[in-house]
């Protein structure tokens, strides 16, 4: 099986960001290359973790360092991972002060309780030796002072490894300036889902993604025999009827990689196969 990997750095509105589309292109291009190299020598889960960690470390993305602040000035982050190999979804919701929410989500995989939220998720991370980390950056503080609500910057990776395993992961700081405790889509099966047939990671307005049960819906349609591209097209036909705003990356067991979005939303993505890397960016 030829390994394949697709990543996203959120939906395409920059919302007054100090970063340009070229900045996102450059960051995604480097990260997709690193994650693909990892995929070739490890497996889908390790590649997803590696790719998401790199984006969580890069402050231009709304995940980990550089995550957005909620209305009370606190950063609460969410992340999830699902791997077809063990059919296991795990996640953290509104965790605080960790550098890599995706790693906390990952160690919950296969445990008795696989999704933790709030203060207890943070406590769980400390018990598991995740040190305190302050994710707040200057530019997010400035956005917060301007009460900026956004839709962009969530990160995600979907990978297919040589053994045919598919893994999907997503990490986010939410939409910014939201009511404290709001829960988006990323650490639900609407935002992140994978089986041996297909995997999906979403970005955009979490409430809309949850209403459509997006990731699980696309994967289920593929499992029931619909080609991935048709499953994604159908999903967005439905979503556009509601004037929703979100996008997704997806990949199936045959190595097809499909990006989809509602009207007026572009997904900042990059993909890699044996022929090389491509990003969303057009000169």
CB of 70 to ligand GLY, least distance (A): 11
Instruction: Kindly tell me which of 66 and 184 has the beta carbon lying closer to ligand GLY.
Output: 184
Binding site for ligand GLY (CB under 6 A): 154, 172, 174-175, 184-186, 203-206
- Residue 209, sorted as left (phi over 0), alpha (psi -120 to 50) or beta, turns out to be alpha
Percent helix, strand, coil in the chain (nearest 5)? 30, 25, 40
Q: How far is the CB of 208 from ligand GLY (least distance, A)?
A: 8
Q: How far is the CB of 215 from ligand GLY (least distance, A)?
A: 11
40 or 263: CB nearest ligand GLY: 263
Catalytic residue ranges: 154
User: Do the bridges between strand 77-83 and strand 115-117 make them parallel or antiparallel, or are there none, so unpaired?
Assistant: unpaired
DSSP state of 253: T
Cβ-proximal residue to ligand GLY, closest one:
184
Q: Which residues pair with 89 in a beta bridge?
A: 82
Minimum gap (Å) between residue 85 Cβ and ligand GLY: 25
Q: Is the dihedral of CA 283, 62, 34, 259 positive or negative?
A: negative
**22 versus 149: smaller Cβ distance to ligand GLY:** 149
How many Å apart are CA 224 and CA 230, to the nearest integer? 12
> For residue 190, what are the CA distances in angstroms to 23, 46, 84, 212, 253?
29, 22, 16, 7, 20
């Amino acid at each position: 099986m030829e390994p394949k990997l697709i990543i996203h750095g959120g939906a395409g509105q920059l919302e007054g960001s100090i970063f340009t589309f070229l900045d996102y292109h450059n960051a995604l291009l480097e990260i997709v290359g690193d994650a693909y190299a990892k995929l070739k020598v490890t497996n889908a889960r390790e590649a997803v973790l590696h790719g998401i960690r790199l984006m969580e470390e890069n402050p231009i993305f709304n995940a980990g360092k550089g995550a957005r602040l909620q209305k009370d000035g606190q950063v609460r982050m969410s992340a999830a991972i699902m791997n077809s190999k063990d059919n296991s979804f795990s996640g953290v919701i509104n965790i605080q002060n960790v550098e890599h929410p995706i790693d906390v989500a990952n160690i919950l995989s296969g445990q008795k309780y696989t999704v933790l939220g709030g203060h207890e998720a943070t406590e769980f991370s400390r018990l598991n030796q995740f040190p305190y980390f302050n994710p707040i950056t200057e530019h997010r503080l400035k956005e917060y002072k301007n009460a900026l609500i956004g839709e962009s910057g969530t990160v995600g990776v979907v990978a297919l490894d040589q053994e045919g395993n598919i893994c999907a992961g997503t990490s986010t700081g939410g939409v910014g300036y939201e009511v404290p405790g709001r829960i988006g889509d990323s650490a639900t099966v609407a935002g992140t889902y994978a089986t041996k047939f297909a995997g999906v990671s979403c970005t955009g307005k979490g409430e809309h993604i949850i209403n459509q049960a997006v990731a699980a819906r696309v994967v289920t349609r593929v499992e029931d025999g619909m080609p991935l591209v048709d499953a994604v097209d159908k999903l967005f036909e439905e979503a556009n009827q509601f004037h929703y705003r979100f996008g997704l990356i997806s990949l199936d067991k045959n190595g097809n990689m499909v990006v989809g979005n509602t009207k007026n939303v572009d997904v900042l993505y990059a993909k890699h196969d044996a022929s090389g890397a491509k990003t969303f960016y057009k000169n």
